[in-house]
Structure 1
Amino acid sequence: MDATLQFLLDLLDLERIEEDIFRGNSHASVVPRVFGGQVAAQALVAACRTVPEERLPHSLHSYFLRVGDPGAPIVYTVDRIRDGRSFTTRRVVAVQHGQAIFHLSASFQHAEEGLDHQEPMPPAPDPETLLPAEELLPRYSHLFWDPGVVQLLLDARRAIDLRYVADPPFATAGKPREPRSQVWFRVNGKLAGRYDNPVVHLCLGTYVSDMNLLDSVLLAHGRGGWMTGDIVGASLDHAMWFHRPFRADEWLLYDTDSPTSQGGRGLARGRIFTRDGRLAVSVIQEGLMRVPRTEQG
C-alpha cells in the first residue's frame, strides 16, 4: 500500500479514549487550518464505532463551526440519540481547545429491499485520458498567489488521485462559464484486509467530498478561488446521502453544479457515480464566498 494512503487510513483510525469519546490527529494543510473533509470523515468514523456493523450510514448533516487547529488533536464525543428497530441516530461534536469546531448528525439503517431508480450518469471521458494532478497543477503555478502552494497542495492530497475533466477554476479565472464541474477520483492504492470494509470506503468518500465541491460556484463568476487569492472561502455546512455501495479505490465520478450564490455564500450540489453508472452518493454544501476587501475597495 502507498505510504501516503496508509497515513490517511491511520488518520481515520481514531483512538478510543472512553466508550463514546475518540481522539484524532490532523495532517499538514496548505492553509493554517484543518481540512474540512478530514473532520467530517473522522466524525463519521467516531459515529460508526458506536453502531452495530450491520448498520451503515445512509445520511449525514454537519456544520463547520470554527477553524480547526492542525497542530492540536481533535476530540470527538458521540451521543447515542436513538437505537430503533431499523434506524440508528448518532450526534458527534468535535472539540479543540475546549470549543466545538464541528457538529455532525448521522443516521444508520440495516440493509433493506425497496423501490429502486436513479438519474443516469452524465457523460464524461475516461479517467485514464486525463492528466493527474501532479502534471496538471504545475502548469498553472504562475496564477497562484504563491507558486509554492502547488507542491503543498500535491503533498496534502497525495493519497488521492483526482483528475479534472475540464479546466479547474484557477485555470480560467476571469472567464465565467457554466457552473458545473466534474472530477474523477480514487485513493492511491488498493484497500485490502481490515481496510476493505464498507465503513472505510464510506469515510474515504466523505473525506474527498469536500475537496472540490465549491468549484462550480467559482466557475459561475470566473473566480479562481483561494489559490489565486480572489475569493476568501470556507465550508459552512455539508450534507451527504449514501445510496449505493462503492469502493474508494476504484474510479468515481464527482459531478457538481451550483444553483445559486448570494449574501457571501454559495450553494453547490454533487453526485458521485461509480464507473459503471450507479449513483452512489448525493452531496450538498454551502460555503463562504467573500470577495477580498481590497477588491471591494
Structure 2
Amino acid sequence: MLDVTKRLVELLDLSPIGDDHFQGDSEDLGFPNVFGGQVLGQALMAASRTVEDRLCHSLHAYFLRPGNHSMPIDYEVQRVRDGGSFSVRRVIARQDGKEILTGSMSFQVDEQGFDHQFDMPDAPEPEALESEKALGKKLAEQMPEKLRDNLTRERPIEIRPVNPIHPLHPEKRSPHKQSWFRAQGPLPDDPVLHRCLLTYASDFHFLSTAMNPHGVTFMSKKLQVASLDHAIWFHRDFRMDEWLLYDKDSPSASGGRGFNRGNFYNREGVLVASTTQEALIRQRS
C-alpha cells in the first residue's frame, strides 16, 4: 500500500471517544472546506462500527454546514433499529458543537434473490487515459500559483477522466461524464473499508456533471457551488484497489440546484454501486 493510500485508510480509522461516539481527523485537499467525501466515508465507518455481520446497502446524507479541515470531526451514532435482516443507524457529524452532516445508513445480512442490472456503457479502457495528476502537471503553469500544488499532489484514489474539460476554458457539453477510479496499491480484504473508500471517492467528479451543459467549472467566477446531499446504494461486492468505471449524468438543473446520478461498474461490467446527489450551483451577480 502506498503511503498516500495508507494515510487515507488511517483517516477512515476512527477513534472511539465514548459509547457509539467516534472522532476522525480532517485532511486538507486544497479546498476551502473539508472534502464532503471524507465526512461521508467517516460517517459510514462510524455507523459500521456499531453493526455486526451486516454490510451497508444504502446511505442517505445531508450536508448542513461546511467543515473546517483544521479541526477533528465528532461522530455520534444512534441505533435506530436492529431487525431480523436489516439494521438502521443515524449518524450526526459535529465540529465545535455544530452539526455539519446528518445521515442514515441501512445494513443487511447477506441474502440471495432476483438479480438484474443495466449493461455497462461503452468507455475507453483506463490504460488509454491519463491520470488526473498527469493532466494537472500539464495545466499547472496555466493555473493560479496557490492551486498548483493541489493539481500535482499525490492522490490515494487514482482518477482517469474520460474526455476531461479544461478548468479555465470550459465548453458546453452534454450532461454526462465518465471517470475510472481505483485506490493506489493493494488494500486489506475488508468489505467495510472498501465501501467507505468508495463512499469517499464518489464525491469526486460528481457535482460538476450538472455544470457541463452550462460551460462552467469550479474555476468560473461568480459561481457558488456546494453539495447539498448524497446517497449511495451498494449492490454487489467490489474492490477499490481494482478499476471501477464511474458513469454519471445530470437529468436536471433548476432553482439554483443541479441533480446528478452515477453508477459504478467493475471491469467485468458488473454494476456494484449507484449514487445520487443534489448540489447548489448558484450564479452570483
TM-score under structure 2 length normalisation: 0.96
Q: Structure 1 residues 151, 228: CA separation in 2 closer, same or farther (over 3 Å shift)?
A: farther
Aligned residue in 1 for 2:215: 222
- State the SS of the aligned residue for 2:228: strand
Select 1:231's aligned residue among 213, 223, 228.
Answer: 223
Deviation at 1:45, TM superposition (A): 0.1
1:169–1:219 Cα contact (<8 Å) kept: no
Q: Alpha-carbon deviations, 1:62-111, whole Å to 9, x = none?
A: 00000101111110000000000000000000011111000010000001
Gaps of 5+ in 2: none
Give 1:2's aligned amino acid.
Answer: L
Q: 1: distance between equivalents of 2:93 and 2:146?
A: 31
Q: Alpha-carbon deviations, 1:226-281, whole Å to 9, x = none?
A: 23445321110000100011100000000000001111110000000011100011
- State the SS of the aligned residue for 2:163: coil
Aligned residue in 2 for 1:270: 262
CA RMSD of superposed structures (Å): 1.5
Q: 2: distance between equivalents of 1:42 and 1:103?
A: 12
Q: 1: distance between equivalents of 2:196 and 2:49?
A: 12
Gaps of 5+ in 1: none
- State the SS of the aligned residue for 1:137: helix
1:143–1:170 Cα contact (<8 Å) kept: no
Q: Which moved more, 1:92-101 or 1:27-36?
A: 27-36
- State the SS of the aligned residue for 1:102: strand
- State the SS of the aligned residue for 1:170: coil
Q: Alpha-carbon deviations, 1:12-54, whole Å to 9, x = none?
A: 00000112000000111212311000000000000000000x2
Aligned residue in 2 for 1:159: 156
Deviation at 1:119, TM superposition (A): 0.2
Select 1:209's aligned residue among 202, 206, 212.
Answer: 202
Q: 2: distance between equivalents of 1:200 and 1:188?
A: 14
TM-score under structure 1 length normalisation: 0.92
Aligned residue in 2 for 1:245: 237
Q: 2: distance between equivalents of 1:171 and 1:182?
A: 20
Aligned residue in 2 for 1:2: 2
Deviation at 1:152, TM superposition (A): 1.5
Q: 1: distance between equivalents of 2:11 and 2:166?
A: 29
Deviation at 1:220, TM superposition (A): 1.1
Give 2:35's aligned amino acid.
Answer: F
Deviation at 1:169, TM superposition (A): 5.8
Q: Structure 1 residues 148, 228: CA separation in 2 closer, same or farther (over 3 Å shift)?
A: farther
Q: Structure 1 residues 154, 246: CA separation in 2 closer, same or farther (over 3 Å shift)?
A: farther
- State the SS of the aligned residue for 2:167: helix
